[in-house]
Structure formats: structure tokens, C-alpha cells
Amino acid sequence: MMIEVVNLTKKFKKVNAVDQVNLYIEPGEIVGLLGPNGAGKSTTIAMLSTLIPPTAGDVFLNQQSIIKNPVALRKILGVVPQEIALYGELTAQENLKFFGSIHKMPKKKLEERMEVVLEQIGLQNESKKKVKHYSGGMKRRLNIGVALLHEPKYLIMDEPTVGIDPQSRNHILETVKRLNEEFHTAIIYTSHYMEEVEYIAKRIYIMDKGKIIASGTKDEIKSILSSENTILIKLERQSKEFVNVLLQEPTLSNINVNETEISFTVSKDMNFLPTLLTLSNNSGVRLKSFQVEEPSLEDVFLHLTGRALRN
């Protein structure tokens, strides 16, 4: 049961929020949807979740259009929204019971699933507390738990770690990985945190301004920058003269200066170290360290759009 998105487009007045997006999700895989705020990720997900109809294009489940027949997908789909979609005045148990009941789950089955889910999200000891008294991380975990009650085969997670502490963030990432490994739940994970997507997703789609600008496995995407190396050097002291010399060097690009740390990209074919040593000697500044860095998804995004992911 594969989900295929074909030429999905959503226009709001004259703005193309999502423009001719094509992607697919196979059973049991984690797919990352990476992009800055306003890239069109949430709109894509809303269409994928059958919440809003596309202006053009379609989504297929086993080659059946879910725009025409959304019920088939809804049965096997869980959605974790970006917002905390819970009743603060109710306890975790009461929330789970309500959101389970709207999936028309038999009472006994629902009670069993509630216990399993509470264990999965690590809230079994806090289940009788009102949600409004939970920390941000606990609310996020329950937000995920609610989407897991009816054992969905596909789980869509829209920025599930926004605004929480690193510990809760790790807990959520581990939960996502465990869900995929133990229960083979296919997960579509959207985020603007590239390290999260890089950590959990096998395949990645990078979105910007409503379009998919790159896709593939992590290595495939990073190979976009395979012709270049990112080099990070540390100086003994700050030197404006040395920076000026680097800026005038035609073989370097993407030069970033942060006090004594300087990063730049240079062609992989070029051995730049001797040149660098000569330039530093001429400027009268000593190099403390020299490091060749692997390109990150952030670098790829910067390369493709000329902007940083979190701008």
C-alpha cells in the first residue's frame, strides 16, 4: 500500500502555496519533508491528510484517488498536528478515550490500546493528570499518542518537536524511530530542523516556496555538493587582513566569518592547503586548526536556494 502524490498543487488566491509536488511513501519507511517556515510543508500535509482538497493533482493509495474516496486513507492514517490538539481540562486518559472513541474502536480494544500508547509515549504514570498541567514536552508526546490509538499504518507528523526542551525532543525522536522499527509504521516527518530529519529519515524531500527542490536518500542529496568541500579553519587571533585576502580568492565561495573561525567551500579537485598556509603567512596570522567537513543538508539547502533553512 503505497501513497503517491502526483502534481499536487494548492493555490490561495494568486499564490501557489504548493506547486506541482510529486512524492511517494512506501510502507514501513520514514520520509522527511524538510523546508523553512512557509515552504508549503503544512499545506502539502493537509492535502495528504484529506483535510483540504488540492487545486490540482491527486493523492493515490494503491492507485485509488483519495481525493475522491478519502475514507480508505483515513482508516490507516494518523496525523500529529503542529498544534497541541488536546483538551487541557481533561486528563491524558480522558483525551485518549475520547479521540479513540471517534475512531469507533470497541471499548475493550480501546482500553488495551490506551495502555500500550501510554507506555509508548512514556506517560503511564502521569495519565490521570489534567493535560493543562503537563510540560510542553509531555503535551507533545500525548499529541503523538492520540494519533497512534487506532494503529495507523501511516503517520504524518507536522513539526512535532516545535518549542520543546532537548530531552523531550530526543524522547520524541526515539519514539518515532521505535514506532518505525517495531511496528513498521510508515512516517512522513516534516520539520525545519535538518538534524532531526537527517537523524530519522531514510529518504528526504526538500521543499522551498511550494516546490520540491531536491529529493532522495541523505547521501544522494548531499552528493549535490559532492564537487565541493566545506573547510573550517581556526585562527590564533582575528585578522581582517587575512579575511580580506580570502574574500579576494576566486576559488573560494560561501565564506562565513565568526570571530576566529572561518568556513568556506572549495572545489574537491583543488588542494587548497598549501595556498592557505602561504596566505596566512603573508597576513602574519597563524592557523590553529584546519578541518574538512562533510556537507550537511543545511549546506545543500544553502547551495540550492542561497538562503539558510532557519531564516
Partner 1 sequence: MIDILKTKFLLLLRKPAGFIIITIIICTFAYILGLGQQSKMPIAVYSDLDQEQTEAFLLELKEIPEIDFTLYDEEEAIEMVKDGNTDVAVHLMEKKFELIISPSYLDAALLKNQLNRIYGEFTQQQAIIEAYDDNPSINVEEIIESADAQPSFQIQYLNFSNDGDFVWNPKLHSLFGFTLFMVIYTVANGVAHIVMERRTFIWDRLRISAIGKTEVYLANVIYCFLIGYLQVVLVLSIFYVGGVDFYGGFGKTLLVVIPYLLCIVALAFFIASVAGTSGRFNAYISVLAVPLAMLGGAYWPLEIVSSKAILALSYVSPITYGLDLLNGVTIHSSSMNELVQPLGVLLFMTIIFMGIGINVMEKKEQL
Contact between 79 and partner 1 by CB under 8 A: the answer reads yes
Q: Using the rule CB under 8 A, give the single segment among 67-75, 121-129, 175-183, 296-304 that binds partner 1.
A: 67-75
Out of 12, 226, 241, 282, the only residue in the binding site for partner 1 (CB under 8 A) is 12
Q: How far is the CB of 148 from partner 1 (least distance, A)?
A: 13
Map residues 143-162 to x or -, x wherever contact with partner 1 holds by CB under 8 A. Answer: ---x----------------
Residues 96-135 that bind partner 1 (CB under 8 A): 98-99, 101-104, 130
Q: Is 81 in the site for partner 1 (CB under 8 A)?
A: yes
Query: Which residue number, 75 or 268, has a Cβ lying nearer to partner 1?
Result: 75
84 binds partner 1 (CB under 8 A): yes
188-190-196-197 Cα dihedral, nearest 10 degrees: 60
Looking at the DSSP bridge assignments, the partners of residue 157 are 80, 189
In this complex, which beta carbon is closest to partner 1, that of residue 36 or of residue 81?
A: 81
Which residues are at the interface with partner 1 (CB under 8 A)? 12, 49-53, 70, 74-75, 77, 79, 81-87, 89-90, 94, 98-99, 101-104, 130, 146
